[in-house]
A = this chain, B = another copy of it.
Amino acid sequence: MGSAFATPLRAGGHDVRVWGTWLDGAILETLRRGEPHPGTGVRLAEGCALHDAEDLPAALDGAEVVLVAISSGGVTAVLDRAAPHLPPDAVLGLATKGFVDTDDGPVLIPDAVRARVAETRLAVIGGPCKANEVAAARPTLAVVGALDLARAEGLAEAMGTPVYRVEASADEAGVEVCAALKNVYAIALGIADGLPTDDSGGGEPWHDLRAALFTRAVRELGEATALAGGDPATPYGPAGVGDLEVTGLSGRNKVFGTRVGAGERPSVALDAMAAQGRLVEGVPAARLARGWVGPALDRFPLLAALGDLLDTDGSPGADADARQRIVDAALHGR
């Protein structure tokens, strides 16, 4: 996603530096040779400077905007290294989504970042943005949220192009919580896609259940936004229904869900995907989200059902009780 952002930014005439972590050395070499990014199949936009992991201070020197697209498990460690080198006025745009466990329990990533970077620089980026499509300049609608609307508008204007449209929102919390939870709910949509089809319904996929789960997920995004103190409209915009839609179409969370729906045990599916280097961010996010929600969990029956599914290592495709739990959450909100 980090290198994908180079496409709209270069189209907007900005100087762009692409920095990679200590795990990204091989990718940077590929991009230097002008070959497509192995993760997206798309070449890096022309005219970017490339920086290896140890070049972090140089990559940050004088930067006006720093976009962070580290995976959720690594974001605080990278920011601990980056913080001393961040120019004082740089705006930090967080594309990393999810929760971080702390001594005080799970917190949203911007809340963890706030402990490291001055509040006045923070913004979060949500909405449907697949890295390969952003890199290829395919059209989409994103949203930047920040506590200060002017800051959100500034970053939205800096990042936006005619095809990469970026709205601005003063609802940092709502954008963030929707973006974090959509990975969890995409697992549920994948489960519906994976359920065996041969026993009923003319061999068709379980589309009605998928749509009922989608509806339940949107309602829980609304509950989560309320719990975070966000704007009630945010779940119905690009950060909510938009990102849920795209995350439910493809990506690792949906693929993991499909495997579990088809009958694989969650632990087996997770191991198999990990062996391919595919982290499923929605799995730790489901557990952390449950902790973040705390005593309000009864307003999140789908989140609760998914958490239990992971705890019991059950498969709705192979186990009637596990399937019933998911169905009950979607249909009866319990």
Interface of A toward B, CB cutoff 8 Å? 36, 40-42, 127-130, 132-141, 162-163, 165, 200-212, 214-216, 218-219, 222, 235-238, 241-243, 245-246, 249-250, 327, 330-332
Contact = CB atoms under 8 A, between A and B. Distances in A.
Q: Which 8 pairs from chain A and chain B are nearest by CB?
A: A41-B202, A128-B211, A140-B208, A211-B246, A215-B242, A165-B331, A141-B212, A136-B201
A307 to B, nearest CB: 20
Given A206-B133, A250-B207, A139 B212 contact: yes
A331 B219 CA distance: 24
Contact of A207 (B205, B237, B249): B249
Q: Which of A42, A129, A214 lies at the interface centre, i.e. has the most chain B CB atoms within 10 A of its CB?
A: A214
Given A139-B212, A165-B332, A204 B128 contact: no
Total copies of this chain within the assembly: 2
A211 B140 contact: yes
B202 A129 contact: no
A218 B139 CA distance: 18
8 contacts: A130-B204, A133-B208, A139-B327, A140-B331, A165-B332, A211-B242, A214-B241, A215-B245
Contacts of A235: 236
Contacts of A249: 205, 207, 210-211
A163 B214 contact: no
A250 B197 CA distance: 15
A132 B138 CA distance: 35
Given A132-B202, A204-B250, A207-B250, 17 more contacts: A128-B207, A128-B208, A128-B211, A130-B204, A130-B207, A133-B206, A135-B201, A138-B208, A139-B212, A165-B331, A210-B246, A211-B243, A211-B245, A212-B242, A214-B242, A215-B238, A236-B236
A207 B245 CA distance: 9
A215 B240 CA distance: 9
A318 B135 CA distance: 23
Given A236-B222, A237-B215, A200 B245 contact: no
B238 A212 contact: yes
A13 to B, nearest CB: 20
Contact of A163 (B134, B218, B327): B327
A40 B200 CA distance: 11
Nearest to A244: B211
Contacts of A212: 128, 139-141, 165, 238, 242
A207 B163 CA distance: 14
